[in-house]
Amino acid sequence: MKQIFGSFPSRRICFSLGVDTIPFKTCTLDCIYCQLGRTTNKTVERREYIPADTILREIEKILSQRGKQKIDYITFSGSGEPTLNLKLGYMIEKIKKITSIPIAILTNGTLLYSSSLQEELQLADLVIPSLDASDEDTFKAINRPHPSLTLEKVVSGIATFSQNFQGKIWLEVMMVEGINDSFEKIKKIGEVIKEIKLDKIQLNTPVRPPAEEFAHPVSLSLLKKAKTILGERCEVIAHFKKHQEITSKEDIKDAILTMIKRRPVTLEDISSSLGIHLNEVIKYIGILQEENLVTSRMYNKKRYYSFAS
């Protein structure tokens, strides 16, 4: 199952079966806090990057084999911006025909200005766009967008979509120390999002190793203050406690090494045990292999990783 991951317990949407619709780090943005590293293909071109029928076959297989596995949402997210896949609407429509599990879309919201994308998302149950800035300079500093994107275009796209969408919309705001965390900027975000019809605002901060070392998380107390500024629908979702033990690249490497010293494991085993995305696991396994700390071998058509003692 290359395009499907989980289901993982996620604080935000309970048990989520992730669906990846695009190649690694294909995105409209290059956020300084991105936990997958820098964007390697910055684009706004919608294409069928991964064939929709391949993804649908994988979903069907997982659903037919899942037994008692809990899935609260089928979530389009993954290695970059899922709405870049031109067949997103087609996939949502097909999934709706085979299961009643609700569908969520985790998106950076930058392509919601497209009326055809707005139409495609109408059958989704939950859309979670993100918005981290209330002025153009901050947008460029934190999200490093594709040159064709402006904050005004993005906000107006999310706002128009929100007026017609029948499902729920939760807006995520990622707060980065020294970039968008002043009270003035938080208040201005509050003003900008008045145009958007929202069910929730979710405040987050980078608790995992970011693309850029200078993208530091803000404190929990600052997030709580921001919550009071942004009002009742706002909640803090940054999970400091859960990630306290795994907050640096070295911690993640150590956690992976601890696992593989115990027994040979697959990439999926590491991903589900540590609750980190498969692509992140691939990145760290690559580093550990370069350091000659990990070896791998095929067994029963699966690749297992073990400690290179």
**Residues binding ligand SF4 (CB under 6 A):** 27, 29-31, 34, 36, 39, 80-81, 108
CB of 309 to ligand SF4, least distance (A): 36
CB of 34 to ligand SF4, least distance (A): 3
Q: What angle do CA 6, 9, 13 make, to 5 degrees?
A: 105
Residue of 116, 64, 129, 126 whose CA lies nearest to 88: 116
Question: Among residues 77 and 162, whose Cβ is nearest to ligand SF4?
Answer: 77
For the bound state, the minimum distance from the C-beta of residue 267 to ligand SF4, rounded and expressed in Å, comes to 19
- Scanning the chain, the segments in alpha helix (DSSP H) are 52-65, 88-98, 115-120, 136-143, 151-164, 183-192, 220-230, 249-262, 267-274, 278-290
For residues 151, 34, 17, 253, the Cα torsion angle rounded to the nearest 10 degrees is 180
Burial class (CB in 10 A: 0-12, 13-18, 19+), 68: exposed
* Dihedral pair phi/psi, residue 137, rounded to 5°: -65, -45
How many angstroms separate the first and last alpha carbons of the chain?
Answer: 30
Compare residues 101 and 193 and give the one whose CB is closer to ligand SF4: 193
Closer to ligand SF4 by CB, 80 or 89: give it: 80
Whichever of 27 and 159 has its CB closer to ligand SF4, that residue is 27
CA distances from 37 to 146, 154, 278 (A): 16, 23, 13
Q: To the nearest whole angstrom, how small is the minimum distance from the Cβ of residue 82 to ligand SF4?
A: 9
- Please report where in the chains the tokens 């153009």 appear, as a residue: 136
**Contact between 80 and 22 (Cβ < 8 Å):** yes
Q: In 3D, which of 253, 275, 273 has the Cα closest to residue 265?
A: 273
CB of 31 to ligand SF4, least distance (A): 3
Nearest approach in angstroms of CB 109 to ligand SF4 is 9
Looking at the Cβ atoms of 27 and 126, the one nearer to ligand SF4 is 27
- 7 or 39: whose CB is closer to ligand SF4? 39
User: For the chain, give me the number of helices (H) and strands (E)?
Assistant: 10, 12
Closest approach, Cβ 18 to ligand SF4, in A, equals 13
| Residue (175 or 260) nearer to ligand SF4, CB | 175
Q: 7 or 107, CB closer to ligand SF4?
A: 107
Reduced to 3 states, what is the DSSP secondary structure of residue 260?
helix
| Residue 163 tokens, joined | 């007026």
Least Å from the CB of residue 64 to ligand SF4? 30
